[in-house]
């Protein structure tokens, strides 16, 4: 679960870099929306994930 959150953060950083290189604002907006929605799923499950995060 923690790996998925880290993967999302890395993916978001790559999307930002790609958007800066291509200057594709609309494309970046769509990808960013997808990232926010998937991240919201992670935050919704945070109460379940918190014990795992504390033990890292």
Query: What is the model's pTM?
Result: 0.35
CB 52 within 8 A of CB 2: yes
- For 3-45, how does the pLDDT look when each residue is reduced to its tens digit (9 = 90+)? 666 667 777 777 777 767 666 666 767 777 777 777 767 666 6
Residue 53 in contact with residue 30, Cβ under 8 Å? no
* Segment 36-45 long-range contacts (CB within 8 Å, at least 24 positions apart): 38/8, 39/8, 39/12, 42/4, 42/5, 42/8, 45/1
């Amino acid at each position: 679960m923690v790996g998925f959150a880290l993967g999302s953060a890395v993916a978001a950083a790559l999307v930002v870099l790609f958007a800066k290189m291509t200057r594709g604002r609309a494309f970046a907006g769509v990808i960013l929306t997808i990232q926010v929605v998937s991240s919201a799923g992670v935050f919704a499950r945070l109460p379940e994930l918190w014990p795992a995060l504390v033990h890292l």
